[in-house]
Chains A and B, each alone.
Chain A
């Protein structure tokens, strides 16, 4: 995708740059005539590129469908590759804010990238819509300029815990996820709601992020009736394969990344029966989703998953906000307030609105991976078996009670005797 470099070309020579700096352009008479600048912080190189490339595809699909217009204004997209490092994210965020002067930032992808620019976003009053799941940024360390239309790390796992206990009737579950914050927060959410509904987590396994062979951990899975995994990126593929190869037959449940629809083309039969809870599901029969999926297939010949859908929805939110603001996003604080009030009914993930902390309240879909219903040339399909609507980041707990306990971590909730 080509980026707008016309302005930069002019500024290439420092002399030209100095000359331009002294020459003040008159403020445009009608703000709406100026293009709306959209910044995208994504990862296009390195191991996180898988999600990052999909994020960009989601944004491009939206822009192509709407003919590059948002809120009645032409859109200029500035796509920046953070390289998956916090320092790179900070640099690119500065590039988008200071050099490209964007109005809104979409992204970044990873929680540590978002933490790296959290202070900067507040300082620059830059409305940011991120996929990064870090719980506390919309809970105990709330960032007023962050809007999250996807989910917190625990938001999808809490209904999953409830479903596992009440519908799958699991009683003893072993959790296994990578040893980092996204993993802790997912499993914390799962454990809290699973144990609330009568289940018990017997063991928690934390393989390091780089674990080529999960066998040392698979060998410890016993004395249970189910497994909850929370892997992300390419790891779910490897895990499910090695799980089946180890001869383990317990039902496996997972969250938004562990059974991502984008992996359907890569999963093998070893993933059959995987139950996942995700804010987005490919098989949602709605106009909004149909438009989105058709767009992704037409433009990129790719079946979308959670990352692409998340960014497409973010674009819809920005579009709606811009319309409500009459095309004027110049007052950042005011625009942020408008964005927080956006409420949509027909996004690819269904109806959404935001709570006062900037996190989404929407549908979460429990799906089972099987062969029936497979479309788009896929052999496997995630079929929705239950929809939870109006799910907030606090699940069924009152907000005050939820925020009173510490953020989900490796040791919270603590393991108890089952």
Chain B
């Protein structure tokens, strides 16, 4: 019984972390049709930058949340630069977008190795969240439960941004019909920069929030990018709801799949992904692609 409760709760918490990871990718792909293969590297960069801020910035040890937000801002700036200088020249050219995003991910990964070295960095769990919650014999780390809250907050925030604010309306207009949007006076290219920066910020934020669980190490980007892709595919590209549901599904698949079917541990995510794609190529909630 303990086993089932533990894994169920962990499925939801892991799903929360996956949502934070994939929301940035889903946003950029859904709104701008750009497959941002740098996403994993931005996640890792955010984690490294956040870890450095935690260790001390200008000889001040920063609070965990402040470090996370600062890290997200730094990476958002990097993302904005990426979009303005590089991606803007390639509207609709998906092959070139793949080439440039992969190229940048190589550069970012090697940069992190140069600056932070090869050793893994442990990110301390924030003090006020480092306890346990007991439910009968089952024990849950408080931090993991907190991630559910953080993911929910981010999900609601994104939804509000897109559906209820003027900025969100402009973004959606710019995506649906860029030319008409420009005619109406919306600065579409500025908006795209903002969206890309937001996606990068989400990736970095996810990186540092995931830090206390995953730690930070070279290769983190290659470990996490396929997970983001699986979530986005299962849930449906371009749909925030799809991303949310997809994260939960992958969370459950990951936990129960590996525990109950250890022989299939290497395939536990990709077999369902294959199945969904073969039967319903647009994912569970997405709109028809291509």
Contacts and interface: CB of A to CB of B under 8 A. Distances in A.
A23 B21 CA distance: 61
A219 B10 contact: yes
Q: Categorize the interface residue count of chain B.
A: 35 or more
B208 to A, nearest CB: 15
Contacts of B177: none
Interface string A46-68: 11011111100000000000000
B132 interface: yes
Name A's interface SS: loop
Contact of A47 (B143, B144, B218, B256): B218
Given A216-B258, A247-B139, A207 B265 contact: yes
A216 B141 contact: no
B126 interface: no
Contact of A213 (B3, B113, B125, B254): B254
A27 B36 CA distance: 57
A363 to B, nearest CB: 26
Interface string A261-273: 0110111100000
A113 B24 CA distance: 37
A98 B184 CA distance: 67
B120 A216 contact: no
Interface string B242-272: 0000000000001111110010011000000
A192 to B, nearest CB: 22
A237 B144 CA distance: 18
Given A206-B262, A217-B258, A263 B223 contact: no
Contacts of A266: 119-122, 215
B254 to A, nearest CB: 7
Contacts of B113: 45, 49
Contacts, number: 112
A212 interface: yes
B141 A50 contact: no
A238 interface: yes
Interface string B11-28: 000100000000000000
A216 B255 contact: yes
A207 B258 contact: yes
A46 B144 contact: no
A245 B143 CA distance: 9
Nearest to B130: A245
A212 B222 CA distance: 11
A237 B120 contact: yes
B132 A217 contact: no
A213 B118 contact: no
A268 to B, nearest CB: 5
A243 B143 CA distance: 14
Interface of A: 45-47, 49-54, 179, 205-208, 210-213, 215-217, 219-220, 222, 233-234, 237-238, 241-242, 245-247, 262-263, 265-268
- Report the 3 A-B pairs with minimum CB-CB distance, sorted nearest first: A47-B219, A247-B139, A234-B120
Given A50-B118, A219-B6, A237-B122, 7 more contacts: A49-B218, A216-B259, A233-B120, A238-B213, A238-B217, A247-B139, A265-B119
